[in-house]
Structure 1
Amino acid sequence: MNVKVVIFDWDGTLVDSVDHIADSLHQAATELGYPALEREAYRDIIGLGMVEALEKLYPGISHVEMSAIRERYARYFFSKVTTPQNVFVGMAEVLADLRGAGRGCSVATGKSRRGLETALVSSGLGPHFDITRCADETRSKPDPTMLEEIIRFYGIEASEAVMIGDTRYDLDMAQRIGMPSIGVEWGVHQREVLADYAPHAIVDTVPELRRVLGL
């Protein structure tokens, strides 16, 4: 692909964190008396901002109840530090090679700013990115606001960037502003779900991603 900027989702795309997020949500909610949900329900909301995720998991939840779950979730989630070993094999090299080729790299994530800042440092990936945007400072996926802010930063059109993600929310967000996307199958949603959003490609290995990106 001949694009100037590559935008990455974080959880499930760059970092193997999906199970830890699901476990933390399950533990936080059930300890506060909320019903245990199927594991797939917790996985399916990964990529959304926390407010939107909890509203989908527990319809009708109040802001007070949501705050209690979020506080307990943070306690469990931050008990485990993201390390370079949690980065999917080969993805750090993809970032380095993109930068070496003169392409911009950025992150658009449903994580909070606090969560992303911590992970950028502890994973070792932080220096690769020019700009990062989080759900709690813009709008949650699939609203494309964070993508619009990123391309405005670079001074480019949506067609000159590509969004890479593992969820329907990533690809839906890109489709809404005419940005090409690439779905990866090593995270939350599989090919049949990702295909609904007309991605440029769907890949199931990092070498395949490198090929699509022309690395």
Structure 2
Amino acid sequence: MQYKLVIFDWDGTLMDSVPKIVNVLKLAAKHCDATIPTDEDAKSIIGLSLPTAVAKLFPNDEDKWEALAQAYKTVYKEGDDTPTPLFTGANDLLDSLAASQVQLAVATGKSRTGLNRLMAETSTEEYFVTTKTADEAQSKPNPDMLNQILAITGMAAEDAIMIGDSLLDIEMAKQAGVAAVGLTHGAATRAALEKTQALTVLDNLTELHTFLLAEQHIDVKAS
């Protein structure tokens, strides 16, 4: 199958931001005197919209949900200096895909403000024909983001492939009828991803580059 549209998650897929998100969630919990989540619990909600993530991660602190969400936003921008570089190979992969004329998109649990800021910082805006965020669609794993992207690009579900690092990404793709690839360098483990219906599970973007281009899942003459 040769795909005409490649849809990326952001956190833990293109950007190495999972450690920062986990740390910020813990700091926000401490700030609000809420139960501090484990690393695994924190990773499990990455990809959800912030209100949904807070409600799921802090079920016994309902009276603090609004404060926790605000604390997360503040700490992420001002209270934590964990670096969030693009993963090794991200620019090479995006350059190669852009050269093949395949369409690229992003479906992320980040806010529009957050995604725009990080795309500007990493000079990646020009790669993508459209991006959808958690404040513009129903939260993952609902397929709303992918359905919107398909409608905007005019692509059929079978012409698209979703690249993600979380179980939410793979389930969202399944619900939208879109093929998916799981990456192990983000939120979910290989063991967990291999239990999903992902086409394949890969360890990094270099392997993804080979899978999409060298193995001809992308037509280099696509238009």
Give the structure-2-normalised TM-score: 0.90
Paired AA for residue 111 in structure 2: S
Q: 1:81·1:122 contact (CA, 8 Å) conserved in 2?
A: no
The equivalent of 1:214 in structure 2 is 213
CA distance in 1, matches of 2:152, 2:109: 19
CA distance in 2, matches of 1:161, 1:121: 25
CA distance in 2, matches of 1:38, 1:72: 18
CA distance in 2, matches of 1:160, 1:54: 34
The equivalent of 1:101 in structure 2 is 100
CA distance in 2, matches of 1:81, 1:101: 36
The equivalent of 2:17 in structure 1 is 17
Q: 1:10·1:107 contact (CA, 8 Å) conserved in 2?
A: yes
Paired AA for residue 211 in structure 2: V
Paired AA for residue 176 in structure 2: I
Local SS of the residue matching 1:20: helix
State whether structure 2 residue 83 is matched by structure 1 residue 91: no
Give the structure-1-normalised TM-score: 0.94
Q: 1:99-138 maps to which residues of 2 (within 5 A)?
A: 99-138=98-137
The equivalent of 1:51 in structure 2 is 51
The equivalent of 1:78 in structure 2 is 77
CA distance in 2, matches of 1:115, 1:123: 12
Are residues 49 and 160 of structure 1, via their aligned partners in 2, closer, same or farther at CA, if it must alter by over 3 Å?
A: same
Q: Number of residues paired by the alignment?
A: 213
Question: 5+ residue gaps in structure 1?
Answer: none
Please, what is the CA RMSD of the aligned residues?
1.7
Paired AA for residue 128 in structure 2: F
The equivalent of 2:2 in structure 1 is 2
Deviation at 1:140, TM superposition (A): 0.6
Question: 5+ residue gaps in structure 2?
Answer: 215-223
Residues 52-79 of structure 1: CA distance to partner in whole angstroms, max 9, x if unpaired? 11111111544x6222111111111113
Local SS of the residue matching 1:24: helix
Paired AA for residue 195 in structure 1: E
Deviation at 1:21, TM superposition (A): 0.7
Are residues 82 and 138 of structure 1, via their aligned partners in 2, closer, same or farther at CA, if it must alter by over 3 Å?
A: farther
Residues 121-144 of structure 1: CA distance to partner in whole angstroms, max 9, x if unpaired? 011111111100011111110000
